[in-house]
Structure 1
Amino acid sequence: MRTTIGYTVESIGYVIGAQGLVSFVSQTFFGTEWGWLHKLVDRPSAAYLGVVVVGLALVLGGVKTRKAPPRQEFA
């Protein structure tokens, strides 16, 4: 079960982080809106860096959950 949760959290983190990065780059360097995150929230460019950090935290949490040693079950 932990492996499934780890992969799921990690996958969600990749999507959130990528969308935050795409939104930041598109607003900062091109002055346009890319991705779908801007359809949910309209934030300044710097706020999207926070979204990238949240995505990275989810990825790291998922990896840590996946690599955690198995628990010992008592009979």
Structure 2
Amino acid sequence: MRRHRFDLFSFLAGGLFTVLAVLYLVASLNGFRLDGRIVLPITFIVLGTAGLAAAVAAMARRRRPDDDR
């Protein structure tokens, strides 16, 4: 299999959805209730932050030194 570059956004999104799935599983087994009015906005905030971090990292990788000097 060919190696590829590490994708920060995909890694964080996958981790977030895994954590959400485990939280809902544990809550259903223990009788707790997770409020979707809190979980959904937090999910969007985390995904937005991860997207911004991935965009900034991509811009930093593409940045080249100026050749004007």
TM-score under structure 2 length normalisation: 0.47
Larger Rg: 2
